[in-house]
Chain A
């Protein structure tokens, strides 16, 4: 006999109330886990993908769309800009680096992006195998692309027209895989990279003059902080093109998405709050049901502190079970949504990075249990033994 077995045996006596308390708190914790992981990973990923990108220049349209398409590779591009735009930007003294992006084709839902080798350096990506491309129609696979397709150095792949899966296959878009990148957990994992000239080769043929060539967007790094005030206006002066700052657009996006996340967070706290009430009522009822048990335990030699401790232990045990349930359900939901996102070739969301949620949920469970049990425990410890026994 020990405290734990004693408390367990008493929990078993009322499985319904026990289950209700555990499930309510468990769902609250699960929702918290989900919100914490999604928000944390989304914010981190958005930040990581946009690292080193000060400005995106592309065709006129929605600035958010431009950022989503060029930086995060999730939306469709706004259109094309002349290749001359790139040259202009490179001549600008406020620009430290300008990298072209050319999009339009995909491979099994992964985008084929024509760019320069600087794009790989921008993302701090390292080669896991092979080399970077040396000439058009050579391709380097992001880690996720290589994993899903099973292709490696020496394989060939055909691009399909359009960014979605199921487009028409370009018979002449045959790429030679020359390298595979190591995982970065950033956007580059989901891309097939090639020389910007490959895209011209596929879409326009060799005959086209440089003056008529187009690219989809240019990623710009500023040479000085002053550029942030001047560059966008300079770019926007040309009516065919537009500048968008990832930082600004993502802040705007979060202002919208944030409402959803806040709603979910509020929902989580409502669940946690109601579970606190349920636990409190459960323990208070238990106190009434068990007043003879408590009186007998006092009679047998249990002190006030021990009685209070047993009540707290009961609450902590319930919270422990709820925590386990909440983590399993919450991480399960994250893993599920993560798989769904991966299938859509969008952001990566991983249940494996659950550490940030652990401390919070542990604290919540502990606090709920302690708050719910403090009053019942105190009442139990103050019970008048002789009067209780005299009653029955």
Chain B
């Protein structure tokens, strides 16, 4: 489902990422680990389709994510869901609107009707009209997860989803991500330096700081 060449990324002369080739099937949920500075977030951005790598490329279901002519932003929005580390919900929109925004921007208006039931399943049925500033951090994270999977993406990416949470909540956050990936039929890739999470993934890719 997801396959990459060995990937190198540089900013100017500095190499910030050196990753091995990746080959993952639909259910081979994977964790990206490594010390800070090893390029986990950079690789996640490359897998998300928003950062063209200096060397190597990424394929989703055989389709090149970085063809020479570039990819339509919608194409990416429809196939890849991302839960950023800092969530970045739009403060001006309600929980429900934050989710339907993803449908609107990815050109998948037909999925907007599933946003409310999805949020209800995530335990936010009574918070649909609430703005992010009035939600707890855990609730905000669930809204961000709903936003990432409402378009039923093939690939679900999460950046440090548990690092700022206590043990219970970290486990719960990961549970939610696994359920979300299952529900969407997506491959889950999580970047983390949180050792608590590593044992739960079938695959692990460990990055080292590039020399």
Known: A1-B100, A389-B45. 12 other contacts (CB 8 A): A1-B101, A1-B103, A1-B112, A6-B104, A9-B90, A300-B105, A301-B102, A302-B73, A386-B50, A389-B50, A390-B41, A392-B86
Kindly state whether residue A148 has any CB partner on chain B within 8 Å.
Answer: no
Main secondary structure of the interface of A (DSSP, over half): helix
Kindly state whether residue B21 has any CB partner on chain A within 8 Å.
Answer: no
Residues on A with C-beta less than 8 A from B185 are none
B90 and A293 contacting across the interface, CB-CB below 8 Å: yes
Residues of B98-120 at the interface with A, using a CB-CB cut-off of 8 Å, are 100-107, 112
Listed in ascending order, the chain B residues whose CB lies under 8 Å from chain A are 41-42, 45, 48, 50-51, 72-74, 76-78, 82, 84, 86, 88, 90-93, 97, 100-107, 112, 147
- Known A-B contacts A13-B92, A293-B88, A389-B84; the reply to A299 vs B48 at CB < 8 A is yes
- B78's contact among A6, A301, A302, A306, by CB below 8 Å, is which? A301
Kindly state whether residue A317 has any CB partner on chain B within 8 Å.
Answer: no
- A296's contact among B45, B74, B76, B90, by CB below 8 Å, is which? B90
B74 and A10 contacting across the interface, CB-CB below 8 Å: no
Complex: chain B residue closest to A14, CB-CB:
B92
- Known A-B contacts A1-B101, A1-B112; the reply to A301 vs B74 at CB < 8 A is yes
- Which of B73, B91, B107: most chain A CB closer than 10 A? B73
Residues of A363-391 at the interface with B, using a CB-CB cut-off of 8 Å, are 385-386, 389-390
B51 and A302 contacting across the interface, CB-CB below 8 Å: no
Residues on B with C-beta less than 8 A from A300 are 77, 101-102, 105-106, 147
A385 and B50 contacting across the interface, CB-CB below 8 Å: yes
Kindly state whether residue A93 has any CB partner on chain B within 8 Å.
Answer: no
A303 and B106 contacting across the interface, CB-CB below 8 Å: no
Complex: chain B residue closest to A303, CB-CB:
B73
Q: What are 30 A-B contacts defined by CB distance under 8 Å?
A: A1-B101, A6-B101, A9-B90, A9-B92, A9-B97, A292-B88, A293-B88, A295-B88, A298-B50, A298-B73, A299-B48, A299-B50, A299-B82, A299-B84, A300-B102, A300-B106, A301-B76, A301-B78, A301-B107, A302-B105, A303-B73, A303-B74, A304-B73, A306-B105, A385-B50, A386-B50, A386-B51, A390-B41, A390-B42, A392-B86
Complex: chain B residue closest to A390, CB-CB:
B41
**In angstroms, how far is the closest chain A Cβ from the Cβ of B166?**
23
**In angstroms, how far is the closest chain A Cβ from the Cβ of B69?**
14
